[in-house]
Amino acid sequence: MRIRTLVAVLACAATLSGCMTGPDYVRPDVAAPAQWTSPREGGESDAPVSVATWWTTLNDPVLDQLAERSVNANLDLKIAEARVREARAARGIAASALLPSIGAAGSWTRNQALDSPEAKQGLPFSTGLSVGPGGVTRSLTVRGQNGSITRSRTNDGSGNGETTTTSASFSPQPEQEAPDRVDDVFQLGFDAAWELDIFGGNRRAVEAAEASIGAAEERRRDVLVSLLAEVARNYIELRATQSRLDITNKNIEAQAETVELTKARFDAGLTSELDAVRAEALLTATQSQVPFLETQIAASMYRLAVLLGEDPGALNAELSTPAPMPAAPAEVPVGLPSDLLRRRPDIRTAERELAAATARIGEATAELFPKFYLTGSIAGRSPSMGDILNSPNQLWSVGPSVSLPIFRGGQIRANIEVQNARQEQAAIAYEQSILLALEEVENGLMSFSKEQVRRKSLDASVKSNQKAVRLANERYVRGLETFLNVLQAQQQLFQSQDLLVQSESFVLTDLISLYKALGGGWEIAAPETASDETASIQGAAN
């Protein structure tokens, strides 16, 4: 009869196991614009975009190497990878509730009369050792005619020392003779319990944990996208500042020659001292830019070193030699707005967080319903450890049990409301992440396009100023032009050259921001480990 009852309970549990409380998650259907609205004046197109290794389009081997090394060693990325492992372990904790739990406990007690004043007065002692889930407990009990006193010491294995407790009980007993022999009592027991999860609360917890794993993986990808963009941006700023320093030094050389020329003409009586003073003032003003540019160069190298997980000065010898900035590609495909929904890691993170929040509603709702368990235990007691399994003093039990919340002061329903509110917040955050992503891409398209128009104008300005300096110098030497016009022409040339280099760097940094906004720097089908991502980067670089 007991076996048939147990089989019936299991069959009922199997029938009801498909029942799960709470809403089933459905990915929201969010419409994206059909086209981008920003102008296309820099080679942008709606062609399908491949941004997995976008930095290789700049054709700079040093940048490719820095990107590869950053994926191997960046500390922010390692933290994100550790959080993925944490989320996976948390999923294991949630899944463990679906499996049976089995425990064991044992104890040993020895009763004997001790050669002490208490024993001589007929007060027997007993000592014991117990091993269980709470740790190892040693006890000493003194029994008398009016009761007993017990002192216990427990070590839970945490390294925090022992816990000592003392208790007394008063129960007058008739006088007994002190025992004249040693009595050992061994006890051993096993117990098991299994929650049947009829209403799916534990399965919803696993579902939420799995969605949290996906969110952690997307956050790691988002860190990777930001890391690669940051490496490229600092590298471009480094090369741009080195170019600006080179232009400054060349202007210093040219202005120093002008100072020597004006001094010679003044000594010859061909010009006034004012020309020489003005030439020297322009020279010192240009020289004042050198420390500022050198500071920026050092800061860029320090930042790149830290991004690669190294000491700030580790890349100085490697990157201190100036090199030209890479050129932007002639064509930049950006795809369609709808592509962002599957490519941007922050959007995918928000979607997974929404899925987790939805599952937690079901987990909280399941607390309203009964919980069903199958429990069992077996225990034995014997004066000999070797005979404990064969002892006639054995006890076993098996059967179902149920628990039902009767009154919790509204706690369960309040928690359901909390989870509903969090799910609503996650849904709004998901929608907002899409809007912010669209905004970033539109801003990136506008900046990249307009900066290229500005760069073309500055390039024309540099060419005109170079011609103006040449003509002003020729006319000044022939006495047809004042020296003030020469100084103004030289100053305007230097400013236009510096602005042109800055604009060229802005074109590249705007392109980097555009690639980042498009979700570039990872592949949807790429492996999860950083080493595999590094391998894909190496393949692209080769």
- What is the pLDDT tens value at each position of the chain, 542 positions in all? 455 554 555 555 545 555 788 999 999 988 888 888 887 776 677 777 777 788 988 999 999 999 999 999 999 999 999 999 999 999 999 999 999 999 888 888 876 655 544 445 555 556 666 656 566 677 767 666 556 677 777 776 666 667 777 665 655 555 554 445 567 788 888 889 999 999 999 999 999 999 999 999 999 999 999 999 999 999 999 999 999 999 999 999 988 888 888 888 777 777 778 888 888 898 999 999 999 999 999 999 999 999 999 999 999 999 999 999 998 888 888 888 888 888 899 999 999 999 999 999 999 999 999 999 999 888 888 777 777 767 666 788 888 889 889 888 899 999 999 999 999 999 999 999 999 999 999 999 999 999 999 999 999 999 999 999 899 888 877 777 777 788 888 889 999 999 999 999 999 999 999 999 988 876 533 444 444 444 444 444 34
Which of 177, 195, 213 is the last residue in one of the domains? 195
Domain co-membership, 188 together with 267: no
Please state, in angstroms and as integers, the Cα–Cα distance from residue 285 to each residue in 15, 154, 274, 291, following that order. Answer: 86, 79, 17, 12
Cα dihedral 434, 437, 441, 442, rounded to 10, equals 60
- Residue 420 is part of a domain; what is its CATH number? 1.20.1600.10
Domain co-membership, 92 together with 129: no
pLDDT, position 171: 57
Which of 195, 222, 256 is the last residue in one of the domains? 195
pLDDT, position 220: 95
pTM, 2 dp: 0.79
List all residues 6 or more positions away from 58 whose beta carbon is below 8 Å from its beta carbon.
232, 326, 327, 328, 329, 508
Let me know if residue 373 belongs to a domain: no
Let me know if residue 371 belongs to a domain: no
Let me know if residue 375 belongs to a domain: no
Domain count, the chain: 2
* Secondary structure class of 33 (helix, strand, coil): coil
Domain co-membership, 188 together with 56: no
* Cα–Cα distance, 239 to 236 (Å, whole number): 5
* Tokens (6 digits) for 352: 């997974």
Domain co-membership, 206 together with 189: no
The tally of CA atoms less than 13 A away on the side-chain side of residue 57 is: 18
**Contact status, residue 49 vs residue 350, Cβ threshold 8 Å:** no
Domain co-membership, 478 together with 345: yes
Let me know if residue 489 belongs to a domain: yes
**Contact status, residue 203 vs residue 363, Cβ threshold 8 Å:** no
Closest CA to 286 of 495, 496, 483, 501: 495
List all residues 6 or more positions away from 200 whose beta carbon is below 8 Å from its beta carbon.
17, 19, 20, 21, 22, 362, 366
Let me know if residue 333 belongs to a domain: no
pLDDT, position 5: 53
* Tokens (6 digits) for 53: 């290794």
Q: How far is CA 264 from the centre of its chain?
A: 66
Domain co-membership, 349 together with 425: yes
Domain co-membership, 92 together with 209: yes
Let me know if residue 59 belongs to a domain: yes
Domain co-membership, 265 together with 356: yes
Domain co-membership, 107 together with 235: no
* Cα–Cα distance, 338 to 415 (Å, whole number): 36
Closest CA to 69 of 304, 322, 325: 304
* Secondary structure class of 267 (helix, strand, coil): helix
Domain co-membership, 92 together with 111: no
Let me know if residue 299 belongs to a domain: yes
For 421, the domain range is 11-23+52-96+202-327+339-362+412-541
Q: How far is CA 399 from the centre of its chain?
A: 46
* Tokens (6 digits) for 284: 């010192």
pLDDT, position 529: 45
Q: Is 44 exposed, middle or buried (0-12, 13-18, 19+ CB in 10 A)?
A: buried
* Cα–Cα distance, 219 to 216 (Å, whole number): 5
Beta bridge partners of 126: 111, 141
Which of 133, 167, 195 is the last residue in one of the domains? 195
Domain co-membership, 323 together with 208: yes
Total residues belonging to the chain: 542
Let me know if residue 226 belongs to a domain: yes
**Contact status, residue 87 vs residue 212, Cβ threshold 8 Å:** yes
Alpha helices for 390-410 (secondary structure H): none
Alpha helices for 105-179 (secondary structure H): 117-120
User: Taking the CA atoms of the chain, what radius of gyration do you get in angstroms?
Assistant: 40
Phi-psi region at 335: left, alpha or beta (left = phi > 0; alpha = psi -120 to 50)? left
Domain co-membership, 56 together with 167: no
